[in-house]
Structure 1
Amino acid sequence: LEERCIIARRSSGSLDEGNADPQTPAFPQLEFKRHTVTEDYKVTTQVLGLGINGKVLECYCKKTGEKCALKILSDTPKARREVDLHWRVSGGPHIVRILSLYENFHQGKKCLLIVMECMEGGELFSRIQARGDRAFTEREVSEIMHDIGSAIDFLHRMDIAHRDVKPENLLYTTKETNATLKLTDFGFAKETNLHKSLETPCYTPYYVVLGPEKYDKSCDMWSLGVIMYILLCGFPPFYSNTGQAISPGMKQRIRLGQYEFPNPEWADVSEEAKQLIIQLLKTDPSERMTIGQFMNHPWISQSMVVPLTPLHTSRVLTEDKELWDDVKEEMASALATMRVDYDQVKIKDLDTSNNPLLNKRRKRPMPGGAEGAEEADGGEGWKSGV
């Protein structure tokens, strides 16, 4: 495994130097183990997360005792694509690493199992929220965006678009201050060199609902703009309406690029940061900044000269913790809704809905919504994939 990771790192180096033929696979051979995962790992019932295509369970390596994450996917062409693309980029900068792959039968179904490094540091925004009184600065946002950009840069050089870059998919390796931020969940990733551009819209409508245009790598750039915006102020640029997967008003605001930099949250943020966001949130994908331009932008490439301006982000995220949870639930709902033609979905009219941003400003109570918990399968019922 270590040898394969070294090969992957070497491959990434050759790509960064521009020496690799983009048509030549520069990644290790996809290898599935067919003996049962429980021979190598103790699988628990603890659910670490729910990905697009499957759940993630806690597990422990029997040889080393290392805590890992086990993603369980039903063996489908879509799951095979996810595994293939994630495997190719595993070992790249700021990308969650795959340790082992298995083909097993679980509860009578053929499954693909991905054993990954366990990201014990939790989600990006949860970490910022937990800072308390410690100042969160514009320079730190620059450093975080450089890390996320490094992951996207690696993917795009490999002709892969992630298409689901969102807060929940950005996790820290540990709870330590020097932890590494990494991108995970390749459930919607696609190769971009098979066609000139992706034929289907990016299925994160919270970030991308620009209509029938063809999305490719520019989808990820749009997501970078939204995440950067939230990091700098604590709330997103575009809001849907609570309880509704996606509203006509929100679609229109995104299509027209209607967002603001309201005070007091944005009063002290540098003009360079605002201009960078504007370049990322261009409504025309062809006008949007590329990852190369993003990584070469002085605000990203020269973090040490970005001002140490304290931001409102931590306070806003803490004060409106329940609102943030609602926004995340809304985003998850929007993901499901966009799998069908959203024009055919009956959606509550904008005028009769609640706008979370306005409610937050007015400090009105938000309507609640229970999210159903998903039970873990546990570590039993595994059979080898013969």
Structure 2
Amino acid sequence: MDVETAEDQGGPAPPPGAPCGTCLAGAPALGGRREPKKYAVTDDYQLSKQVLGLGVNGKVLECFHRRTGQKCALKLLYDSPKARQEVDHHWQASGGPHIVSILDVYENMHHNKRCLLIVMECMEGGELFSRIQERGDQAFTEREAAEIMRDIGTAIQFLHSRNIAHRDVKPENLLYTSKEKDAVLKLTDFGFAKETTQNALQTPCYTPYYVAPEVLGPEKYDKSCDMWSLGVIMYILLCGFPPFYSNTGQAISPGMKRRIRLGQYGFPNPEWSEVSEDAKQLICLLLKTDPTERLTISQFMNHPWINGLIYGLGAPSSNQWWCRRLHSTRPECCRRTKTTGMKSRRK
């Protein structure tokens, strides 16, 4: 990938200390306090053609720090107000618990277009979604699921304390630091993130299987939409398929939208026969169709099931039906492919 400094094209370089908004009219200053580096990212990092992943707004490549040899992840975003907003929100969250950290940000030219290059820590353990699929017949125990949900909740709590709604919390955006069993789980991809301090949210940005009913529109909504997504993830961890899915092969069908709006889902046997009532109750509290009745992140983090204050957490949450359910035609939406409804979409 060939990049040039922001000064190489597009006229003279801005004076030292000039805000980033002078480079792109209408774009917010990055991070509110920080600016991207204007020299070429290749001065500091050797870029690889290896694609590590695809985010909402751009692809992620492998790169290596030239001095230390550290392996990192580089996200390329073509410069726009939306791209600067993504960087701004990620910068505000960077360093928070269970959130992927930003190491550097550069403003360079790529194919004669100004772009932002975000260098992040490299998460080499893969997605939470992959671990769900890899379990096969060995189901998650409730204790394992509770630990995962606690980690995700910790990240969301950090964001919500700063009045940021992530709006795309899903297993594909939750990455492990390594392949080890005790690897740390972290939240990434702030392409849909939005501040909630001034105006209510209204843009229907979502991934179909994790979308809260109010986000489908036309209602305004707030950061409680992330809590609904937590409920969907918890449901999947404990049985292997989502509570809402399309029966038509579409990413999101009219029937699926109706079931989401009405909160129509169940806990069918045999998958749920061994799951505790505490776990089911917590899911019900997260999947409240009325956002005002939904648990807040603080209430979620203080729930007995999350804190391990109930008995029998070591029991398997389901049985040999796990693998069959995960790959059957019924939960087609739960397969990790780039062409199905699991792919992020902006509606």
TM-score range, shorter chain: 0.7 to 0.9
Q: Amino acid of the residue matched to residue 288 of structure 1?
A: R
Q: Which of the two has greater helix per residue?
A: 1
1:243 offset after TM fit, Å?
3.5
Q: Look up the match of 2:77.
A: 73
Query: Per-residue displacement from partner, 1:45-68 (whole Å, max 9, x unpaired)?
Result: 111111000000011111111111
Q: Look up the match of 1:277.
A: 283
Higher relative contact order (CA 8 A, sep 6+): 1
Q: 1:312 aligns with which of 312, 318, 330?
A: 318
Structure 2: state its 5+ residue gaps.
1-30
Structure 1: state its 5+ residue gaps.
1-26, 339-386
Query: Per-residue displacement from partner, 1:337-363 (whole Å, max 9, x unpaired)?
Result: x2xxxxxxxxxxxxxxxxxxxxxxxxx
Mapped partners of 1:56, 1:140: distance in 2? 29
Note closer, same or farther for the CA distance 1:166–1:135 as it changes in structure 2 (3 Å cut). closer
Mapping for residues 235-250 of structure 1, pairs under 5 Å: 235-250=241-256
1:262 aligns with 2:262: no
Mapped partners of 2:259, 2:233: distance in 1? 17
TM-score using structure 1 length? 0.75
1:200 aligns with 2:210: no
Note closer, same or farther for the CA distance 1:314–1:194 as it changes in structure 2 (3 Å cut). farther
Q: 1:36 aligns with which of 31, 40, 43?
A: 40
Note closer, same or farther for the CA distance 1:151–1:120 as it changes in structure 2 (3 Å cut). same
Mapped partners of 1:63, 1:114: distance in 2? 18
1:71 offset after TM fit, Å?
0.2
Query: Per-residue displacement from partner, 1:81-120 (whole Å, max 9, x unpaired)?
Result: 0000100110000000000000000111100000001110
Mapped partners of 1:179, 1:262: distance in 2? 32
Q: Look up the match of 1:343.
A: none
Instruction: Report SS of the residue matched to 1:164.
Output: coil
Q: 2:257 aligns with which of 225, 246, 251?
A: 251
TM-score using structure 2 length? 0.84
RMSD: 2.2
* Kept in 2: contact 1:170–1:181 (CA 8 A): yes
1:213 aligns with 2:219: yes
Q: Amino acid of the residue matched to residue 67 of structure 2?
A: K
Mapped partners of 2:192, 2:91: distance in 1? 14
Where do 4+ consecutive residues of structure 1 move more than 6 Å? Answer: none
Mapped partners of 1:157, 1:132: distance in 2? 37
Q: 1:96 aligns with which of 81, 86, 100?
A: 100
Q: 1:60 aligns with which of 47, 60, 64?
A: 64
Mapped partners of 2:133, 2:319: distance in 1? 8
Give the count of matched residue pairs.
310
Q: 1:163 aligns with which of 159, 163, 167?
A: 167
1:316 offset after TM fit, Å?
2.5
Q: What is the percent sequence identity of the aligned residues?
A: 67
Note closer, same or farther for the CA distance 1:152–1:272 as it changes in structure 2 (3 Å cut). same
1:335 aligns with 2:345: yes
Mapped partners of 1:107, 1:129: distance in 2? 38
1:135 offset after TM fit, Å?
5.3
Query: Per-residue displacement from partner, 1:257-309 (whole Å, max 9, x unpaired)?
Result: 00000000100100000000001000111111110110111111236856111
Q: Look up the match of 1:227.
A: 233
Q: Look up the match of 1:351.
A: none
* Kept in 2: contact 1:139–1:304 (CA 8 A): no
* Kept in 2: contact 1:231–1:313 (CA 8 A): no
Q: Look up the match of 1:136.
A: 140
Q: Amino acid of the residue matched to residue 92 of structure 1?
A: G
Note closer, same or farther for the CA distance 1:305–1:32 as it changes in structure 2 (3 Å cut). farther
1:147 aligns with 2:141: no
Q: Look up the match of 2:300.
A: 294
Q: Look up the match of 1:124.
A: 128
Instruction: Report SS of the residue matched to 1:331.
Output: coil
* Kept in 2: contact 1:257–1:283 (CA 8 A): yes
Q: Amino acid of the residue matched to residue 279 of structure 1?
A: L
